[in-house]
Amino acid sequence: MIGRLRGTLLSKHAPSLLIEVQGVGYEVEAPMSTFYELPDLGKETVLHTHLSIKEDAHTLYGFARLDERALFRTLIKVSGIGAKTALAILSGVSVEDFSRLIQRGDIAALQRVPGIGKKTAERLIVEMKDKLGALPAGASLSGRTVPTPDDPVAEASVALQALGYKPVEVSKLVAAAAAPGDTAEAIIRKALKSALRQG
């Protein structure tokens, strides 16, 4: 099992990262919460990882904080929640806020995450209530910096679609969130917050 990576960040195109560790390039999928914490390209980064092994693929998921990885691992054990949906949850809401949504039984807010319908939201609340207290705390990575992409609106749109939002939803979210000078990460962050408040 690969539990942690320390290496050079070579590329980042949400939700995918490429990290070189002693000459080996690891492709890693990560939630937007982790993207916000990444350093500039070419700098060293550390990620807590989860390796998923299936018949047709070996996929490595990376997280800036231990509590995010713990929540991801708990989420994918819930019936109807796959890795893509778990990443969408972590991208749209912090571990602390997710815990509050579960404790309040906020089905409506959970349904705003791509891939979560009413039945899945109800199942999440039932299955997660007793498990959230056991999640470990974890410190964020230091040295957070945000790159300036050539086209932040396009990059944000691609990332939101990769998280499961439909093109029509993405267009509306990005149009409402984007402001002059915003980075892709800033647009994505505002769009995800807006998506969770709508409805």
Q: What is the per-residue pLDDT for 181?
A: 85
What does pTM read for this prediction? 0.68
**Cα–Cα distance measured from residue 146 to residue 37, given in angstroms and rounded to the nearest whole number:** 8
**Cα–Cα distance measured from residue 165 to residue 62, given in angstroms and rounded to the nearest whole number:** 21
DSSP-assigned letters across all residues of 110-152? HTTSTT--HHHHHHHHHHHTTTGGGPPP-PPPSS------S-H
Q: Is the bond leading into 15 cis (omega within 30 degrees of zero)?
A: yes
Q: What backbone torsions phi and psi does residue 182 show, to the nearest 5 degrees?
A: -70, 145
**Cα–Cα distance measured from residue 70 to residue 138, given in angstroms and rounded to the nearest whole number:** 10
Per-residue pLDDT of the chain (199 residues; tens, 9 = 90+): 788 999 999 999 888 999 999 999 999 999 988 988 899 999 999 999 999 988 888 999 999 999 899 999 999 988 888 898 899 888 888 888 888 888 888 888 888 887 788 888 888 888 887 776 555 444 332 333 333 345 788 888 878 877 778 778 888 888 888 888 888 888 888 888 888 776 5
Token output for 118: 């009413």
Closest listed residue to residue 148, CA positions, set 180, 194, 115, 192: 180
Contact 45, 9 (CB under 8 A): yes
Strand duo 24-29 + 57-63: pairing? parallel
Domains defined for the chain, CATH in brackets: 4-63 (2.40.50.140), 66-134 (1.10.150.20), 152-197 (1.10.8.10)
Instruction: Give the H/E segment covering residue 161.
Output: helix 152-162
